Amino acid sequence: MPSLLPRWRVLLLAALAPLAACRPPQRQRLLAPPGLLPSALLRSLPGGWLAADWTPPVTNAAPVWPAGAGLLALPDGWATAWEPTRVGGWSGLGLEVDLLPQALPLLRWGLPLAFGPWLIVLRNRPDLTGQDWSLLLDPGLRGRLLLPAAPRLVLDLAERLGDPARTLPLLRRQALGFSDRDALTLLLQGEADGAVLPSQAVVPLLRRDPRLRAVLPSSGSPLWWALLLRAPQGPPPPLDWLRQQRRPPLLAQLLRAGFTPPLRRDLLTPALAGLPGAGLQLPSEAILGRCTTLMPLAPAQRAAAEAQWRASAP
């Protein structure tokens, strides 16, 4: 016959039980690189979730899911480094019905939260009047231009300028540097006169800094994306929060911050009405049709791109 618990232990357990019941449940974590998600979106997280900064490690190895994270928000370059079989899926949740067609291929990796074009941004250069990507090769920008840190993106820009074997070396000689993190600061401080930047960083500044001008070439642009990845076998995603981003008042707050959910045009156009720079956040149908998403390269394509980049060094 099993031994009975001592009376004092039974009383102690009885006294502690209400305290255990009152203990708040552990909150799920959403991790994101600093600055990727606007504050309005983070403030709207439901009570069971906590947001924290996280920067993906720079490595050639396969990415490893960070311990304790239920969701990861990442730029498209980081997000698509994952094998789709190693992240949780989004099918069957009904979240894809309102998305733009351009967003649907990215559902293999994560839920597209926001998107927009890369833009040419000029500071105090009214003499530069070009409206296409050839503006990047203007002699007046030699040594005063900041380009993105991602070689793949610079290669895409070179292809938009013509034969990349010729234009990529020219483009690299124009550059003061290649930076994502510091480009906007250097531009605003006058260390550079031009930069190629994502619309999310640019549009809010255009509304309050008259020194800046942005150009979206009519030939289209590479698109940037913010994706939300689910942990493999992770907790259910906060569906009400995700749907809340697609309607007022949160949608209006996100758009003012330059963070444009990739929703159908009939849903976005009324919300963007009256906002300066709306055409930079949601390009016209024609221009958007000429924009591209930089999907992952096959190994042979990656090797060819790396060789092309090395050969173009000034």
What is the model's pLDDT at position 122?
A: 98
Q: CA 196, CA 119: separation in Å to the nearest integer? A: 5
For residue 81, being part of any structural domain is answered with yes
| Domain match, 135 and 167 both | yes
What is the model's pLDDT at position 2?
A: 45
Q: Is the pLDDT of residue 24 over 80?
A: no
What is the model's pLDDT at position 62?
A: 84
For residue 187, being part of any structural domain is answered with yes
Span 192-219, average pLDDT? 96
For residue 18, being part of any structural domain is answered with no
- pLDDT level of residue 234 (50, 70, 90 thresholds): confident
The CATH number assigned to the domain holding 171 equals: 3.40.190.10
Angle of helix 164-174 relative to helix 299-311, nearest 10 degrees, comes to: 60
**In 3D, which of 244, 242, 288, 247 has the Cα closest to residue 271?**
247
Q: 136-153, pLDDT tens digit by residue? A: 999 999 999 999 999 999
**Domain span including residue 208:** 118-222+295-311
Measured in degrees and rounded to the nearest 5, phi and psi for residue 9 equal -75, -40
For residue 201, being part of any structural domain is answered with yes
Contacts of 10 (CB under 8 A, 6+ apart): none
Domain count of the fold of the chain:
2
| Domain match, 123 and 215 both | yes
| Domain match, 204 and 307 both | yes
| Domain match, 304 and 185 both | yes
Span 165-176, average pLDDT? 97
- Of 143 and 4, the structure prediction assigns the larger pLDDT to 143
For residue 5, being part of any structural domain is answered with no
| Domain match, 186 and 45 both | no
| Domain match, 78 and 200 both | no
- pLDDT level of residue 7 (50, 70, 90 thresholds): low
What is the model's pLDDT at position 111?
A: 98
Q: Is the pLDDT of residue 131 over 60?
A: yes
| Domain match, 136 and 195 both | yes
| Domain match, 77 and 143 both | no
Q: 47-74, pLDDT tens digit by residue? A: 999 999 999 988 888 899 999 999 999 9
For residue 20, being part of any structural domain is answered with no
| Domain match, 77 and 135 both | no
What is the model's pLDDT at position 1?
A: 44
For residue 288, being part of any structural domain is answered with no
CA distance from start to end of the chain? 85
| Domain match, 132 and 179 both | yes
Q: 151-166, pLDDT tens digit by residue? A: 999 999 999 999 999 9
Q: 238-294, pLDDT tens digit by residue? A: 999 999 999 999 999 999 999 999 999 999 999 999 999 999 999 999 999 999 999
User: Which ranges of 23-75 would DSSP assign to H, the alpha helix?
Assistant: 39-43
| Domain match, 187 and 101 both | no
| Domain match, 128 and 109 both | no
**In 3D, which of 304, 203, 235, 311 has the Cα closest to residue 27?**
235
What is the model's pLDDT at position 314?
A: 86
